[in-house]
C-alpha cells in the first residue's frame, strides 16, 4: 500500500475495480450470422392480447410444423402480453395453460407488462383505473366483470379486485405467477420488451425486460445476442442486426405473428382470418421493415419517465 495524492492505493483492490470497469465498458458486437443451436428449431410468438381466434390456428400450424421436423429440440417461446385489449383474455390464458406436454415441444411463456399489471391489480386494487385505461377492462369483461360505477372510489375497485381473485382459477393463477422473464437459445435472447443497452443480458432488470421501449429501440448499442421481443407494435416484423420485433398489434390489426428460427434461417408466420401464411426473412437480419402501428406517444416513451401503469 502507498499513497497517491493523499489517498491510499491498494494495488490488488484497485486493479480489480479498474478491470471490472474496463470490462463493463468494453463494446459488445452482435453475432455476424446469428443461429440457434444445431438440431434445434425455435418459434417465437408475438403479443396476443386476447386474440384467441388468431392464436389457435397459429399454434396448430406450429404443432404441425414441429411434427414434420426432425429437429432434436423444439421450443416455442411466447413473448408475453397474452391479455388486455382483445376480446378473450381469459380464453387465451386457459388455452396456453392447457397446452399438451407430451408432443416433444418445449413451451416457454414470458411475462409481459400487461400480465404484471393484472397481478398488481389482484394485490393492489388502487391500480385498477390505470390498468383499465390500457386494456384491463377487456380482461375483466372476459371474466364476466364490469368496471365500478364510480371509478374514482377505491371501494369499488376493491370489490372488482376481490371478484376477479375469486374467478381466477388456481391453474390460471399458477400460469400467471410462474411466467419467465427471459429465455436464451443460441445467438438469440427472448424478452417481452427488450433490454437495457450497455447492460449485459444476464444482468438485465425485470423492469426493463417487461417495460423498456425508447432507450432500447433508439440505441445503436449492440448486445451479445440478438434480442427478440414484442411490446412495441409494427405493421410487420422489424429486424436489424441487434433486435427483432414480433408484435404486429394483433388485437387491432387482426394479424398475429410468429418468428421461426432454424440454424441461420428465419421465417415469419402470420395468422389472419383463420389462415396461417409464411414468408422468408433476411437470415442476417440487415433488412429493416418499417411501419409503426401504434401511437407515436407509445414509441417515444420509456418506463422511467412515464406513469407506473402506462403500458
Taking residues 296-307, report their average pLDDT. 35
Q: What is the pTM of this model?
A: 0.84
Q: Which residues contact 175 (CB under 8 A, 6 or more apart)?
A: 93, 96, 97, 109
- Please report the pLDDT score of residue 65 as a whole number: 96
Other CB atoms within 10 A of residue 182 CB: 21
pLDDT per residue as tens digits for the range 184-224: 999 999 999 999 999 999 999 999 999 999 999 999 999 99
DSSP characters over the chain: -EEETTEEE-HHHHHHHHHHHHHHHS-----SS--PPTTEEEEEE---TT-HHHHHHHHHHHHHHHHH---SEEEEEE-S--SSSSS-HHHHHHHHHT--SSSSEEEEEBPPHHHHHHHHHHH-GGGHHHHIIIIIHHHHHHTT----SSTT-HHHHHHHHHHHHHHS-HHHHHHHHT-BSEEEETTEEEESS---TTS-GGG--HHHHHH--HHHHT-----SSEEEE-SS-BSS-EE-SSEEE----HHHHS-EEEEEEETTEEEEEEEETTEEEEEEE-TT-------B-S-HHHHT--GGGS-TT--
pLDDT higher than threshold 60 for residue 32: yes
Integer Cα distance of 197 and 180 in angstroms: 21
Q: Which residues contact 297 (CB under 8 A, 6 or more apart)?
A: none
- Please report the pLDDT score of residue 307 as a whole number: 36
pLDDT per residue as tens digits for the range 238-248: 999 999 999 99
pLDDT higher than threshold 80 for residue 25: no
* Range in 4-8, 47-51, 103-107, 287-291 the model is least confident about: 287-291
- Please report the pLDDT score of residue 289 as a whole number: 41
Q: Helix 113-123 crosses helix 154-167 at what angle (to 10 degrees)?
A: 110
- Please report the pLDDT score of residue 216 as a whole number: 97
pLDDT higher than threshold 60 for residue 8: no
pLDDT per residue as tens digits for the range 251-298: 999 999 999 999 999 999 999 999 999 988 865 544 334 333 333 233
Q: Work out the pLDDT band at 27, boundaries 50, 70, 90.
A: confident
pLDDT per residue as tens digits for the range 84-98: 999 999 999 999 999
Residue 245 contacts residue 237 (beta carbons within 8 Å): yes
Q: Work out the pLDDT band at 128, boundaries 50, 70, 90.
A: very high
Q: Work out the pLDDT band at 48, boundaries 50, 70, 90.
A: very high
Integer Cα distance of 190 and 244 in angstroms: 10
pLDDT per residue as tens digits for the range 129-180: 999 999 999 999 999 999 997 666 778 999 999 999 999 999 999 999 999 9
Taking residues 62-80, report their average pLDDT. 97
Q: Work out the pLDDT band at 305, boundaries 50, 70, 90.
A: very low
Backbone dihedral angles phi then psi of residue 175, each to the nearest 5 degrees = -60, -50
Strand partners, 185: 188
User: Which residue from 311, 241, 274 is spatially nearest to 80, judged by alpha carbons?
Assistant: 311
- Please report the pLDDT score of residue 47 as a whole number: 98
Residue 74 contacts residue 106 (beta carbons within 8 Å): yes
Residue 212 contacts residue 196 (beta carbons within 8 Å): yes
pLDDT per residue as tens digits for the range 281-290: 865 544 334 3
Integer Cα distance of 135 and 170 in angstroms: 23
Alpha carbon distances (Å) from 107 to 161, 169, 202, 217, 266: 30, 21, 21, 27, 19
Q: Work out the pLDDT band at 24, boundaries 50, 70, 90.
A: low
Q: Work out the pLDDT band at 17, boundaries 50, 70, 90.
A: low
pLDDT per residue as tens digits for the range 226-240: 999 999 999 999 999
Amino acid at each position: 500500500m502507498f499513497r497517491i495524492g493523499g489517498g491510499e492505493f491498494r494495488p490488488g483492490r484497485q486493479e480489480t475495480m479498474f478491470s471490472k470497469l474496463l470490462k463493463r465498458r468494453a463494446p459488445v458486437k452482435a453475432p455476424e450470422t446469428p443461429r440457434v443451436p444445431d438440431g434445434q428449431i425455435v418459434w417465437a410468438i408475438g403479443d396476443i392480447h386476447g386474440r384467441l381466434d388468431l392464436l389457435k390456428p397459429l399454434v396448430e400450424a406450429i404443432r404441425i410444423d414441429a411434427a414434420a421436423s426432425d429437429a432434436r429440440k423444439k421450443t416455442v417461446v411466447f413473448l408475453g402480453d397474452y391479455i388486455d385489449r382483445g376480446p378473450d383474455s381469459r380464453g387465451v390464458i386457459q388455452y396456453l395453460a392447457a397446452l399438451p406436454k407430451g408432443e416433444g415441444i418445449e413451451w416457454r411463456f414470458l411475462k409481459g407488462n400487461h400480465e404484471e399489471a393484472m397481478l398488481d391489480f389482484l394485490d393492489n386494487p388502487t391500480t385498477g383505473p390505470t390498468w383499465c385505461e390500457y386494456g384491463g377492462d377487456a380482461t375483466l369483461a372476459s371474466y364476466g366483470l364490469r368496471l365500478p360505477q364510480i371509478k374514482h372510489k377505491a371501494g369499488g375497485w376493491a370489490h372488482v379486485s376481490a371478484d376477479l381473485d375469486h374467478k381466477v382459477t388456481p391453474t390460471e393463477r399458477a400460469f400467471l405467477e410462474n411466467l419467465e422473464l427471459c429465455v436464451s437459445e443460441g445467438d438469440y435472447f427472448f424478452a417481452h420488451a427488450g433490454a437495457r443497452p450497455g447492460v449485459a443480458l444476464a444482468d438485465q432488470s425485470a423492469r426493463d425486460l417487461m417495460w423498456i421501449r425508447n432507450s432500447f429501440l433508439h440505441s445503436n448499442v449492440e448486445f451479445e445476442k440478438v434480442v427478440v421481443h414484442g411490446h412495441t407494435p409494427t405493421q410487420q416484423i422489424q429486424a436489424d442486426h441487434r433486435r427483432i420485433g414480433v408484435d404486429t398489434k394483433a388485437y387491432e390489426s387482426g394479424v398475429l405473428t410468429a418468428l421461426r428460427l432454424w440454424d441461420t434461417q428465419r421465417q415469419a408466420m402470420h395468422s389472419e382470418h383463420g389462415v396461417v401464411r409464411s414468408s422468408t426473412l433476411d437470415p442476417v437480419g440487415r433488412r429493416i421493415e418499417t411501419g409503426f402501428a401504434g401511437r407515436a406517444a407509445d414509441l417515444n416513451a420509456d418506463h422511467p419517465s412515464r406513469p407506473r401503469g402506462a403500458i
